[in-house]
Amino acid sequence: DADVTQTPRNRITKTGKRIMLECSQTKGHDRMYWYRQDPGLGLRLIYYSFDVKDINKGEISDGYSVSRQAQAKFSLSLESAIPNQTALYFCATSDQPIGQGATQYFGPGTRLTVL
């Protein structure tokens, strides 16, 4: 079984709808991240969490919210989806700060289309 899972893998929704993307991990890591990938732009950090009580904004948090329900679960919500939120979304985990030798483990991604 995969260490980092994301559900759903694909989702098509309409403008104005509320959407939740879910991430679960079995690696026992405290740190979890949500990224967005757009063609030609690389990955950009949306939110990250050091533990269930510590949530931090990333580079592009506007229009998104997150919930860390447990060490193993980190959800990303779009309260009112808009077309420019169409993208590939990745969840990742690590056990240490990235700059101190940690490896980030990425999930398989969720492809979201907002019509």
When the beta carbons of 18 and 104 are compared against another protein, the nearer one is 104
Q: Which residues contact 45 (CB under 8 A, 6 or more apart)?
A: 33, 34, 35, 58, 59, 60
The least distance separating another protein from the CB of residue 100, rounded to whole angstroms, comes to: 6
Long-range Cβ contact pairs of 46-51 (< 8 A, separation 24 or more): 46/76, 46/89, 47/76, 49/74
Q: Kindly write out the interface string for residues 49-68 of this chain, putting x where it contacts another protein by CB under 8 A and - elsewhere.
A: -------x-xxx--------
Chain positions 3 to 22 lying near another protein, rule: CB under 8 A, are 4
Nearest to 33 by CA among 9, 50, 8: 50
> If binding is defined by CB under 8 A, does position 100 make contact with another protein?
yes
- Answer whether 24's CB lies under 8 Å from 108's CB: no
> If binding is defined by CB under 8 A, does position 40 make contact with another protein?
yes
Summarize as ranges the residues that interact with another protein (CB under 8 A): 4, 31, 33, 40-45, 48, 56, 58-60, 90, 92, 97-101, 103-104, 106-109
